[in-house]
Amino acid sequence: MLVRRASEALAGKELDAILAGCFEDAGLSGVLVELDRALDGGLERLRAGRELPAAVGETLLWYRPPGLACSLLVMVGLGKSSDWGPAPLYRAVAAAARQAARKPRRSVALDTSLVLNDTSVPTAIAAVLAGCQGQDLYRSEKKLFAFEELWLPVGSESDFRTGVILGESVNLARRLVDQPPNVIYPGSFAELAADLCREVGIECDVWDEERLEFERCGALLAVGQGSARPPRLLLMRYRGGPADQPPLALVGKGVTFDSGGLSVKPTEGMKTMKCDMAGAATVVAALHAAARLKLPVNLIGLAGLVENLISGSSYKLGDVLTSRSGKTIEILNTDAEGRLVLADLLDIAVEQGAAALVDVATLTGSCIIALGNHVAGLMGNHEGWCARVAQAARRAGEPVWPLPMYAEYAEQLRSSIADLKNVGEGRAAGAIVAAKFLEEFVRGRPWVHLDVAGPAFLESPKPWCDGATGAFVRTLVEVARQWTGRVEETAG
> CA-CA distance, 40 to 209, in Å (whole number)?
69
DSSP letters, 218-276, are HHHHHHHTTSSS--EEEEEEEE-S-TTSPPEEEEEEEEEEE--TTSPPPHHHHTTGGGG
DSSP letters, 159-177, are HHHHHHHHHHHHHHHHHHH
Neighbours of 484 (CB within 10 A): 15
What are the Cα distances from residue 324, in Å, to 219, 347, 412, 416, 473? 7, 7, 22, 21, 28
Q: What residues pair up with 237 in beta bridges, in sequence order?
A: 203, 300
CB under 8 Å to 157, separation ≥6 — which residues?
A: none
Out of 105, 339, 388, 445, the active site residue is: 339
Give the residue from 404, 188, 216, 465 showing the smallest Cα distance to 305: 188
Vertex 122 angle, CA 23 and 193, to 5°: 130
What are the Cα distances from residue 456, in Å, to 167, 280, 318, 360, 452? 16, 11, 31, 10, 6
> CA-CA distance, 209 to 375, in Å (whole number)?
35
Q: Is 339 labeled as catalytic in the residue annotation?
A: yes
Give the residue from 86, 56, 166 showing the smallest Cα distance to 395: 86
- Beta pairing class for 72-77 and 59-63: antiparallel
Go through 22-38 and write b for each residue having 16 or more CB atoms within 10 A of its CB, e for each that does not: bbbeeebeebbebbbeb
Q: Is 265 labeled as catalytic in the residue annotation?
A: yes
**In angstroms, how far is CA 19 from the centroid of its own chain?**
25
- The type of residue at 405 is M
DSSP letters, 408-428, are GGGGGG--SSSSEESS-SSST
Under DSSP, the state recorded for 292 is: H
What are the Cα distances from residue 146, in Å, to 10, 83, 175? 20, 29, 14
CB under 8 Å to 357, separation ≥6 — which residues?
A: 248, 249, 250, 251, 346, 349, 350, 442, 445, 446, 447, 448
Out of 37, 265, 394, 481, the active site residue is: 265
Residue ranges of E strands in 6-164: 17-22, 59-63, 72-77, 107-110, 149-152
DSSP letters, 370-398, are HH-SS-EEEEES-HHHHHHHHHHHHHHT-
Catalytic residues, which ones?
Answer: 265, 339
